[in-house]
A = this chain, B = another copy of it.
Amino acid sequence: MLVVDDEVRLAETVQRGLAAEGFVVDVVHDGEEALWAGTENAYDVIVLDLMLPKLNGYRVVEQLRARGIWTPVLMLTAKDGEYDQADALDLGADDYLTKPFSFVVLVARLRALLRRGAPERPAVLSAGDLTLDPVSHAVARGDVPIVLTPREFGLLEYLLRHKGEVVTKSEILDNVWDSAYDGPANVVEVYIGYLRRKLDTPFDRKSIQTLRGFGYRIEDKG
């Protein structure tokens, strides 16, 4: 468990109390340390103050989620406005607690979070061992990350969202390219070519099938 709070004494108190409850607790005091610690270690839960030096709690959660880290986060907030709570939840926090809080409530909420386990990740698109995470903009073949340009990413995302279906070149142009675009449809072929090069070498796969006269299709088996 990780506790992040810039009020050193409060953090230490919480740490001692949680240790007494049987938790193993790391403590850091600013947003950058929190991000680093949260990225490097597989905590089961993170207690995160909203007001932090260097990087506030919002940004820490945002960054963690963007990196594909879905450790449950309990947000501590000194304010109690509706917006702050909503913002926290929007950004991917799983629960929040308004300061000042009672220690037993904190423990109860933490236990609840642990019981629920890590939240289900937002849908990750996939085809075989090829994965695409729309949230973190990450693409990988198995464990090997693949770097795509924005256009390539958009094209692959569209194909994966229509996995198993045939998509025509004009459908692709309508949905992946700007509506103002009216150049030759040949761009699609070019970008399919780029994608194939990145997705299939050196993996020796044929991710994207051409159906001559119809369009393209990406299959579930990848």
Interface residues of A in 66-124 (CB under 8 A from B): 80, 82, 85-86, 89-90, 92-95, 98, 100-105, 107-109, 111-112, 115-116, 119-123
Residues of chain B within 8 A of A9, CB atoms compared? 82
Residues of chain B within 8 A of A92, CB atoms compared? 102-104
**For the complex, what is the distance from the CA of A55 to the CA of B102, rounded to whole Å?**
21
Q: Specify which of A86, A104, A135 lies most central, judged by the most chain B CB atoms within 10 Å of its CB.
A: A104
**For the complex, what is the distance from the CA of A86 to the CA of B80, rounded to whole Å?**
22
Q: A26 on the interface (CB 8 Å rule)?
A: no
Residues of chain B within 8 A of A95, CB atoms compared? 100, 102
Q: A166 on the interface (CB 8 Å rule)?
A: yes
Q: A150 on the interface (CB 8 Å rule)?
A: yes
Q: A65 on the interface (CB 8 Å rule)?
A: yes
B150 touches A217 (CB 8 A): no
- Min Cβ gap A73→B in Å is 8
Q: A149 on the interface (CB 8 Å rule)?
A: yes
Partner of A149, one of B85, B102, B103, B213: B213
Partner of A102, one of B93, B109, B212, B214: B93
B122 touches A108 (CB 8 A): yes
Q: C-beta contact mask, A159-176 vs B, less than 8 Å → 1, else 0? A: 000001110000000000
Q: A137 on the interface (CB 8 Å rule)?
A: yes
A214 touches B137 (CB 8 A): yes
Given contacts A100-B95, A122-B104, A136-B164, contact A16 B86 (CB under 8 A): yes
Residues of chain B within 8 A of A164, CB atoms compared? 136
Residues of chain B within 8 A of A104, CB atoms compared? 65, 90, 92, 119, 122
A112 touches B123 (CB 8 A): yes
